[in-house]
Amino acid sequence: MSKLNDPVVRHSASSGQDSPDVWGIYEPDTGSIQYICADPSTKKAALIDVVLNFDPASFAVDTRSMDQVLNLVEQEGLTVQWVLDTHPHADHLMASSQLKERTGAPNAIGEKVKEIAEIWRGIYHTPDAFDPERDFDRLFADGDTFRLGDMDMRVMLSPGHTLGSITYICGDAAFVHDTFMQPDSGTARADFPGGTTEDLWNSLQAIFELPDDTRLFVGHDYGSKGRDEPEWEATVKTHKAKNIHVKAGTAKQDYIKTREERDAILSLPDRMLAALQINLRGGNLPEAEDDGGHYLKIPVGKF
């Protein structure tokens, strides 16, 4: 039976000094990978791109993926120091605000989320919606650093998939979200509002400048021809040698042509129009109305 339909957890062990322990937790409904990045010496951990589960048919929300991540944190004797997201996801709800409440750790995302919020205020025709400075404790700029236990984490702006996507780099681990896919799948799409293929190309090339032994942890995996188990880790060296879209020697114009032709036939994620309204609030639902219920506004015919 295909493991693409099952939750999967794998540990990528620290190789020594300046190398974190990383756990990847695969969420099968959206093909998302959630991460725990931990300093082996202090057991301090960052939770990255954790999913709040959402049923696009019923609009029901639950915390089973978040609970799985927190149970693993407890099993490994870790303490959550940061709740991090790489961008406002279009295909799943972020668990940021719920994790902040459960763990007491600050939540963070890239500062350009403010520009993304402005785009989506227009799409939803909600001029007063979304206040990232209220809903996130830290908005990171390109080049910012912060501590995870005794280790440094660095922020790299990596636009293309969205205009404000960021990569988190901790020692020999880089959490590259929706830039690279696995080498046998290529790269992520760049056709969402504010994204561009040229920006994505430039972001991929910047990630290629990391040391060859850097472990790249991607945001999604949907399998590939001949492979029915999820994967999410490969080194810079492996991507340079084998990535089907951007291996070493690929011409920029050839990549852009390939990527744009592929994006032109992709459907929108089935959760997108709900997800952005919630994720631009840090994972919070809109304010409850008089009956105590929460309601989303869905634009008709804009896509």
Q: What is the CATH number of the domain that holds 127?
A: 3.60.15.10
* Chain mean position to CA 158: 12
- pLDDT (mean) for 72-83: 98
Q: How many domains does the chain have?
A: 1
Q: How far apart are CA 166 and CA 150, in angstroms?
A: 22
- Residue at 279 is within a domain: no
Q: How far apart are CA 135 and CA 195, in angstroms?
A: 23
pLDDT at 3 over 80: no
Amino acid 47: pLDDT: 98
- Residue at 117 is within a domain: yes
Element (H, E) at 207: helix 197-208
- Residue at 298 is within a domain: no
Amino acid 224: pLDDT: 87
Predicted confidence band of residue 185 (pLDDT cuts 50, 70, 90): very high
Q: Which domain holds residue 99?
A: 3-274
pLDDT at 250 over 80: yes
pLDDT at 1 over 70: no
- Residue at 286 is within a domain: no
- Residue at 300 is within a domain: no
Share of the chain above pLDDT 90, in %: 95
Q: In what order do the strands lie in the sheet with 21-27?
A: 8-12, 21-27, 32-38, 44-48, 79-84, 107-110, 138-140
- Residue at 128 is within a domain: yes
pLDDT at 127 over 90: yes
Predicted confidence band of residue 2 (pLDDT cuts 50, 70, 90): low
- Residue at 193 is within a domain: yes
- Residue at 255 is within a domain: yes
Show the tokens assigned to 226: 């001949």
